Structure 1
Amino acid sequence: MARSGIQYSDVQQAIDTLLARGDTPSVQRIREVLGTGSFTTISEHFRNWRIEREQNRDVPPPKGVPEVIVNVATELWREAQEAANQALVHYREDANRQVESAQQEAAEALQQTANAEQRESALAEHLRHTEQRLETLNRELAASQASERQWQQQAEQANQDAKRYQQLLTQSEHDVASLKERFTEELQQRQAAWEQRLAQEEQRNEAAEGKLMALLDTLRQERAQEEKALQKRLLQFEQRSDSLAKELQLKKDTLQHYQLDNSSLQQRIDELERNNISLKELHSSLQSELDKAHQALEQQHKTALQDENWQQQLWQRMEALQAQLTALPETLSSQEKEDNPPNE
C-alpha cells in the first residue's frame, strides 16, 4: 500500500515532465523532479502507471479529435516508446555490465582471499619448518659445543702426550746414538772375525774343490743313467697311455651300445607300463562288470530261492489237493451210505 504524501497524480505529472524533456522515466528521476517522497511509494505509483499505460496502449482515440492530431500523437507516442525502450536497453546493458563487473570483482576478491589464505598457510608451514630447523640447529649447536669442549680436552691431553712423547723421543735418540756406537764397534770386531773365517774357508774350499769335481762327475753319470731310465719309463708310459686310450675308446663304444640298448629297453619298459596301465584299466572294468554280475547272480539266487519256496508251497498244496481228491470217493461213498441207510 502506498503511503500518504506523494499521490499517483504527482508521480504521473513528474513522468509527463520527464517525457516532455525526452528523458526516460525512472524512480530516481521521478524523485528528482518531485524533490521528495520515498522510493517505495514512488516505485508503487510508477509500477501502476506502467500497468495502466500497457492497458491503454490499444485504446482508440476519442471521437471528434482530428485525424492529423491523432496521427501526430500516435507518432509521438511510438517515438516515445522507442526512446524509452532504447533507454531501457541502455540501462539494462549498463546494469548488466555493472553486475558482471561486480561479479568479476567479487571473484577477484575471492581469488585474492584464497591466494592470501594459501600464502598465509605457506608462510605458516615455512615458519613451522623454520622453527623445526632452528630447534635442530640449536640441538646441533649444543652438540657441537659439547663436542668442541670434548675436542679441547682431547687436544690438551694430546699436547701433554706430545710433550711426554718428545721427552721419550729425546731419550730414545740418546739411546740410539749410544747403541749405534756400540753396534759400530761390534760390527768392526765381527767383520775382522768374518775376514779371518773367510780366509780359512777359502783354504778349505781349495781342498774340497777336488772332491767336489769328482762328486760332480759321479753325479753327471748318475744323471745320465737316470735320464735313460726316465726315457724308458716315458716310452712305457706312452705305450700304456695308447693302450688305455684304446681301452677307453672300446669302453666308450660299449657304453654307447649299452646306452642304445638301455634306450630300447626304456622304450620297451614305457610300452610295458602303458600296457600295464591298459591292463589295469581293463581289470578295473572287468572287476566292475564281475561285481555287477555277482550282484545280478545274487539277485537271481534270491529270486530262485523265492521261486523254490513258492514251488514247495505249490507242491504242498497240490499234494494236499491230491490227498483230498484221493479221499474224495471214500468221502462220497460214506456220505451216500449215511444218506441211504440200509433197509431193515
Structure 2
Amino acid sequence: MARGGITKKAVEQARNALLARGESISIDAVRIELGNTGSKTTIHRYLKELETEDDKTALSESLSDELIALVNQLSGRLKAEAHQTLEAQEERHSEQVTAWQERFEQQSQELLATQAHVEELLQTLKQAEQQQQQLQETNHRLEVDNERLQSDLSSQKQRLSEKDERIASLEEKHTQAREALNHYRDSVREQREHEQRRYERDVQGLQSEINELEQALTARQHSYSELTQRNTQLETQLTELKRHYDAVYQESRSTDAQLSELKQQYDRLDNRFVSVTSELQGAQDKQERLQTSLTELTQEKQALEHESVQLNAVIATQKEMIEHWFTSGQLKTFSPHGES
C-alpha cells in the first residue's frame, strides 16, 4: 500500500490515459493525472514495474515455445540452486553460532570453576594466616615463659651457689672443730698419762681438772651435735634444691622441645602459606586470562550476532528478490496459436 492511497492499478490507469492522449509519460504528469496525490517515489517505482512487465510481455511474445521451455527450466534450476545455497549458508551459519555458543558456555563454566577455586584458596589462606597468628602468639607466650624460667633458674643457681658456699663454710668449721677435738683428746690423753704418773701425788687436783674437762667436753659434744644437725638440715635443703633444679631443668628442656616443635610447625605453615600464595597468584592469573578470553569471546559473539543479523537480512533480501523475480518475472507459456 503506497502513501496517500495510491495503488499500482491507479498509476497504470493514469499512464494509459496519458498514452491515449499522446502525451509523454513522466512522474509529474502521472501525479497531475492522479489529482496531485501520491508520492513521487511510489509513482516512479510503479512506473518501473509497469515498464518491466511490458518488456517481459514483449519478450515473451517474441520467444518460441522451445526457448520459453528452456528458460522456464533454467529459471527452475536457478531457483532450486539459489534455495540450496541459501539453505547451506543458513546451516553453516547455525552450526557456527552453535559452536561459538558452546565455546562461550565452556569458557563461562571454566571461569566459574576458577572463581570457586580462588574463593577456596582465599579461605585456606585466611585459615593459614589465623593459624600463623595463633602460633606466633603461642610462641611469644612460650618465649616469655622460657625467659621467666631462665630467670628463675639463674636465681635458683645463685641461691644454690650461696648454699654451697655456706655448706663449704660449715664443713670447714666442722673440720676445724673435729681437728680441735682430736687435738684436745690427744692433749687430754697425754695429760692423763702425765697425771697417771702423778696420780698418787695429785689425785685431788686431777679429779677437779677431769671434771672441768668433762664439762668442757660435754659442751663441745653438744656443740658438735648442733653442728651435725645443722649439717643434716643443710644437706636436706641441698637435696631439695637439686631436685628443684632437676625439675626446672627438665621443664626447660620440655619448653625447648615445645619451642622447637612450634618453630617446625611454624615453618611448615609458612611454607604452606607461600605455596597457597603462589597457587592463588596462578589462579588469579588464570582468572585474568579467562576473563580476557571471555571478553574476546563476548566481543566475537556480539560481532557474530551482528554478522548473523546482517546475514539474515541479506538472506531475507535475497529470498525476497528471488521470490519477487520468480513471481513477477516468471515467463509465460504460449500456445501454438499465440495465446497465453
TM range (shorter): 0.3 to 0.5
- Provide TM-score, normalisation by structure 2: 0.33
Q: Rg: which structure is higher? A: 1
- Provide TM-score, normalisation by structure 1: 0.32
